[in-house]
Homo-oligomer: A and B are copies of this chain.
């Protein structure tokens, strides 16, 4: 059976769309529902999972996570140039994962315990826009779980905590 030309075109366009969606999902890491986080109106920035590393770390009990900080090009340049304050357009991403033990690693390492990243917990972004976010030191904050923004209560806590950081509201230092 042959489809009419118009239908074939629609089907083909649909398949391209599906393919693009799959490519995007595999590149982006987190599923994104496109809803903006409360207070600051931040959405998950496209392609953040492909950004370069600023540094990594982990938080102990009761959080017990493994975390990686990524930066867009403006962020990476600012960190490498030791430029403060961070320029407008800087975006810092904090990816976090449940810290788990790797039996496979431990088998190889003997009595040295090894901890690796398990399932993703949540995802945070801070975006510098000195005009838009003048009331919060020039930074907007967003936290997402399973691709969906977290509550307003969560977002109310961001700035108070980051105000304790000595380098333009940023805790993370660049690792060589």
Report which A residues bind B (CB closer than 8 A). 26-27, 29-30, 49-53, 55-63, 66-68, 70, 80-81, 95, 97, 99, 102, 104-105, 107-109, 112-117, 120, 161-162, 164-166, 171-173, 175-176
Inter-chain contacts of A56 with B (CB < 8 A): 56, 66-68, 97, 117
Total copies of the chain:
2
Docked complex Cα distance between A55 and B68 (Å)? 8
Inter-chain contacts of A173 with B (CB < 8 A): 116-117
Asked if A176 contacts B29 (CB within 8 A), the reply is yes
Inter-chain contacts of A26 with B (CB < 8 A): 80-81
Docked complex Cα distance between A27 and B108 (Å)? 33
Docked complex Cα distance between A61 and B109 (Å)? 11
Asked if B102 contacts A171 (CB within 8 A), the reply is yes
Asked if A57 contacts B114 (CB within 8 A), the reply is yes
